[in-house]
Structure 1
Amino acid sequence: MRWGRALVVLGLVSLLSACGAEYDPLFIGGAVSKPVIGWRECPGAEHDGIAEVGLYKWARSGTADDPGELLWHIEADEGHVLHRISLGEAPTGFTTRLPLTTELDSGTTYALRTNMTSDELVSGFLTFRPDQLAVGQVVFSSGKGESLKDYESRDNEDFGCFAG
């Protein structure tokens, strides 16, 4: 069973990186008062789900590996994963490593980093400003925003989801 899961994970990693996915499947959407972090699911793929999330205050010299000051961090307990998580909350099955104790400033840029349950081989990264958030809108691919309808109508191959 573990070998099969490892092969699925390696296949997904290959699809997301080597096959030239245009966008990272990580997104954030919803109202400023209740943003939701999400991972675009590939039809037929069996990647597991979000296992860890960190919210950072984006540093001017930040990178995906070192985005800035960590403001919030949660991690899934064994066997618990989700594809949607409310920003600042630790859903059932997750442990808070660092609680979110500050209110987000609308004009400040923040970064999100996620790891999937697949041994942290698949991860997501994006930057956003809270003033980009609104009901029916999503932000993905490091600051690219659009309506949820337009986002959902994008070709799955843009996100590394390729039909088998």
Structure 2
Amino acid sequence: MIRIEILIPFIDHEHTYQSAKVRLETIKKIISTSGFYEIKKIQIHEINSIDLKTIVKVKISNTSEPYVYELLDVANKVFNTNEKIFFYYYTLRGFSSTELQNGINEENVIINNVSRIKDSILKKLKYSIQNIIIYKNEIIYQEDNYD
């Protein structure tokens, strides 16, 4: 199997992965702690039949809205069932990976392979959101500007 890094040599895959991780963690923090959003509770079996954008309600208008809805759109389109379930509880509901893996949360939800699922989500995000992608020439350009 050919690695995607070989097929797309002009993308800095390591920095792009980190960029996707920062985006996911930032949106998680905004949604779960800011008070700007209200998340509708859903049953786990509904995850594939529901548009994730319909369960996120804006309580206070803010500048993060386009980024939140862009992430929700990607989640609807490219995540598989297990990824959507993890995304719902981790990003939208604000549960930690440890809480989900051990079932120590208010809904007693247990998700196996948390690290693998999160890694899969990040790999999908890094190619799905244009402004997350970091190109190799951008890093060279940035290094040249700081000398």
Short-chain TM bin: under 0.3
- Give the TM-score taking structure 1 as reference length: 0.24
Q: Which has more radius of gyration?
A: 2
The structure with the largest helix share of the pair is 2
The structure with the largest strand share of the pair is 1
